Amino acid sequence: MAKKEAEIQDREFLMLKKGPCFGKCPVYTMSIYNSGLVEFHGKSNTQNLGKFSKQLSPALLDELLLSCNDADILSMQDMYTSQIADLPLITIKYTTDDSTKTVKGKEDRPVKLIALQKKLEDIVSSDNWTLVEAADIDNPGITPPPEDMAELINTEVIIQPADGIRLPNWIKKNKERYGIRLLDRISEDKNYWLITWDQAKGTPDEFLNALQRDPEIKMAQFNLKVEGRQR
């Protein structure tokens, strides 16, 4: 009986995962356990990079449980689709004694789920985290970890030219070196363009790294697979 109670205490109760976007969105996973233990893994663009942990108070744990019950997460859709490419995919997983529900989406999700997300984000931004495993700052990992790779198309890159830079001139200047080809315009408002390159002239990480170091490119990010989006 004691062993079963210990397993329940160690079981993940809530998980929040934020995926990459076209810009510098925070990418991380946070898991909260029934015991109040919180594990955080900051992958990029977060204040805490690496693996951290902390303990929640019983009062805050009860508040999260009430929020989950009030939101009725178990009755929600598994996926709320979006046509907006430059938003991160948000995943919230909720586990009870006999059920597990994973809900994914972007901007168009139930109001109470977004409110719960805000409470979880407040925990992420709180103090008193204990470092468990430091991030490798010498190898920051331009390409996201394997669990995020399904969301990326690493043979295509979204770029945003710097102010005053004419894209045709930039492509012409770099065409011979990288074999750059223009595929599409993603957003007129934010001047986002979709490009690809000759794979024989550089790996995805090498090409993306070169773009991110180019002063004429304001932003560069691997393309994302977006539900319902077609080129």
* Domain annotation covers residue 231: no
What confidence tens digit (pLDDT) does each residue in 102-154 have?
999 988 899 999 999 999 999 999 999 999 998 876 554 444 444 444 467 88
CA quadruple 165, 169, 172, 177: dihedral sign: negative
Q: What is the pLDDT of residues 26-58, one digit of tens each?
A: 999 999 999 999 999 999 889 999 999 999 999
Domain of 91, CATH number, reads 3.30.1560.10
Instruction: For residue 200, give the 3-state DSSP assignment.
Output: helix
Confidence of residue 228 (pLDDT cuts 50, 70, 90): very low
Q: In angstroms, what CA-CA distances link 185 with 40, 170, 175, 191, 195?
A: 36, 15, 18, 8, 9
Of 30, 63, 66, the residue nearest 48 (C-alpha): 30
Are residue 114 and residue 167 in the same domain, yes or no?
no
Residue 102 sits in the same domain as residue 202: no
Q: How far is CA 197 from CA 21, 22, 140, 145, 194, in A?
A: 21, 18, 23, 23, 11
- Name the phi and psi angles at 201, rounded to 5: -105, 10
Structural domain contains residue 197: yes
According to the model, what pLDDT value does residue 183 have?
92
Residues of the domain holding 163? 146-224
Residue-wise burial string across 17-52, b where 16 or more C-beta atoms lie within 10 A, e elsewhere: bbbbbbeebbbbbbbbbbebbbbbbbbbebebbbbb
| Range name among 194-203, 206-215, 216-225 with the lowest pLDDT average | 216-225
Q: Do residue 101 and residue 175 come from a single domain? A: no
Residues 120 and 15: their CA atoms lie apart, in Å, by 9
pLDDT of residue 65: 93
Q: pLDDT tens-digit profile of 57-109?
A: 999 999 999 999 999 999 999 988 776 666 788 999 999 988 999 999 988 89
User: Which of these three, 95, 112, 134, is where a domain ends?
Assistant: 134
Residue 22 resides in a domain: yes
Does the pTM surpass 0.85? The reply is no
206/199 Cα distance (integer angstroms): 10
Decide if 105 is inside a domain: yes
**How many structural domains does the chain have?**
2
On whether both 130 and 153 belong to a single domain, the answer is no
pLDDT in tens, 151-197: 678 899 888 899 999 999 999 999 999 999 999 887 766 788 999 99
**Are residue 85 and residue 177 in the same domain, yes or no?**
no
Between CA 223 and CA 159 the distance in angstroms is 9
Q: Quick check: is 230 in a domain?
A: no
- Position 142 scores a pLDDT of 42
Q: What is the DSSP letter of 93?
A: E
- Same domain for 25 and 96: yes
- Residues 117, 174, single domain; the answer is no
CATH number at residue 194: 3.30.70.60
H or E stretch including 3? helix 2-10
Count of Cβ atoms closer than 10 Å to residue 120 Cβ: 19
